[in-house]
Structure 1
Amino acid sequence: MQCPKCHQPRQAQRPDCPHCGIYFSKYAQFLERQAAAAQAVIDGTADNESGVSRLWRYLLTPPDAGSGLWYGRAALWVLFVLWGGHFILQDIPSLAAAPSFLHNVDLVFHEAGHVLFGVFGSFIGSLGGSLGQLLMPLICAIALLRQRDTFGASLCLWWVGQNCLDIAPYMADARAGQLPLLGGNFGHSAPYGFHDWEYLLSETGLLAHDQGLALLCLNLGRLLMLLGLIWAGYLLWRSRPQLSHATD
């Protein structure tokens, strides 16, 4: 027989695994509790618990983690902490001057948003670019949550925040029109409506507040990135004991 966690051969009569250190009886109980809790959330059968409480408990339940997978997630978390710190410490001019390669990834969903929301008119079509950037990581997060991958969903929240940081410089550029736009144009020389945020803020009478709104978007993005990292770090901390004695 094999160990249910590390899949190494079990030794007869031993209550624990000599390779990963789990106790088989405790690990079996842990898996039963985890499966029951997750199923209760899905079925809505948790007793005396509100829907919000069930959702909160589900979001804070770590996904299954063998030792190799856990260390891989931990390494990924460290990478996102360092990468996120690089983003968070930048101000709007810095983000505008040196966009990361993620800007090109976000741009794909930005343009797709224009196409998808363009059927609802000029205003929603212009807003659709930024909506597309924000909706894509949210869609990914929902898909991962349906697979009970809360860790992956937490990194998608980080991505939502990064998209806010990607949007903020263009929001701040609404009046100045100095940033390059797709196709080689600039806001100050492009036809009215070509610069999304110049058009959106002009149409809503908020053009004079472009700097304040951009700062709000920037700080919202920073907050979401931090929340995503804290969520991911908590899930790693919760799942760490599974690698030793399979207790929660």
Structure 2
Amino acid sequence: MKPCPKCQYIRQAKDASVHPDICPACGIAMNKWRPRPIVNDDSDAVIVPEQRTSLREHFMQLPNRVDSGSLWGRGVIWLGLSCWAFWFLFNGIDWQVIGGSFMHNINLPFHEFGHVLFMPFGRFMAILGGSLFQILLPLGLCIGFSFFHNDNFAASVTLWWCGQSFVDLAPYIADAEYRLLPLVGGGGEESHDWGNLLTWMNMVDSAHTIARASFVIGGVIMMLALAWGFQLLRKQKALEAQGY
């Protein structure tokens, strides 16, 4: 088998499900790829193989499998995440909606683990670490899926999760002034993460502003993730229509 003209990847037995004209490593249509012309200092056009892709090209590379089953499966996931995102955004910073959601039950264990993970860095970071880790974990997964597993659609899903984590934190931050939300383990007011953090920074009066900022940032990230996933699905559909 000839190596990919772009990344020099050589197909293996595990790549049997990938169309022969699609590179399993970088996702290009090999029979359509052309090297990029580069002009040297002497103004002579020299054609050399392209060794790097732009970030935009990288993030638009398709997963290894390009077939009807994976397309429809990802389409259903994308539609579900879209409805879920609009449900969160429509209801705003509502603890009953956000705290009672399935996603909150996913975020909570990672939030609690973040306290333990950041404990060696002092009390302030140990308390902030819960909120920080529930954001950094899906962001790290997004980077891993995109750069190490060549699965940008999975990366878009974990980016959506990162945005939802910001939304998940909004009611907790807004409650810093009142400290009324139920806490894990039945902890009292003294165990309220954001109540303590904002008190130490003398910013309790800004709790609602910070909560709204977290909610808006989360909403924007979720919309960007959905737009990214949609473009990947469009590109996959187009390739399928061409017989790849």
TM-score, normalised with respect to structure 1: 0.76
| Distance in 1 (alpha carbons) for counterparts of 2:98 and 2:167 | 13
1:62 and 1:235 in contact (8 A); partners too: yes
Which amino acid counterpart does residue 29 of structure 2 have in structure 1?
L
Question: Which structure ranks higher in relative contact order (CA pairs < 8 Å, sequence separation ≥ 6)?
Answer: 1
Partner in structure 2 of residue 230 of structure 1: 227
209 and 61 in structure 1: CA distance in 2 versus 1, 3 angstrom threshold? same
| Distance in 2 (alpha carbons) for counterparts of 1:27 and 1:96 | 43
CA offsets, 1:99-123, max 9 Å, x none? 2021111011101100000110000
2:88 and 2:97 in contact (8 A); partners too: no
Percent identity for Structure 1 against Structure 2? 33
Given candidates 43, 50, 67, the residue that maps to 1:46 is 50
Partner in structure 2 of residue 32 of structure 1: 30
Residue 32 of structure 1: how far off its partner (Å): 1.5
Which amino acid counterpart does residue 153 of structure 1 have in structure 2?
A
Are 1:195 and 2:199 an aligned pair? no
2:114 and 2:126 in contact (8 A); partners too: yes
1:46 and 1:54 in contact (8 A); partners too: no
| Distance in 2 (alpha carbons) for counterparts of 1:31 and 1:222 | 34
| Distance in 1 (alpha carbons) for counterparts of 2:113 and 2:180 | 24
CA offsets, 1:79-101, max 9 Å, x none? 11111111121211355675202
- Map 1:210-225 onto structure 2 (within 5 A): 210-225=207-222
Residue 205 of structure 1: how far off its partner (Å): 1.8
Partner in structure 2 of residue 42 of structure 1: none
Residue 229 of structure 1: how far off its partner (Å): 0.5
Are 1:165 and 2:167 an aligned pair? yes
| Distance in 2 (alpha carbons) for counterparts of 1:200 and 1:34 | 55
Partner in structure 2 of residue 156 of structure 1: 158
Which amino acid counterpart does residue 245 of structure 1 have in structure 2?
Q
Partner in structure 2 of residue 103 of structure 1: 104
Which amino acid counterpart does residue 195 of structure 2 have in structure 1?
E
SS at match of 2:118: helix
Gaps of 5+ in 1: 8-21, 38-44
Partner in structure 1 of residue 4 of structure 2: none
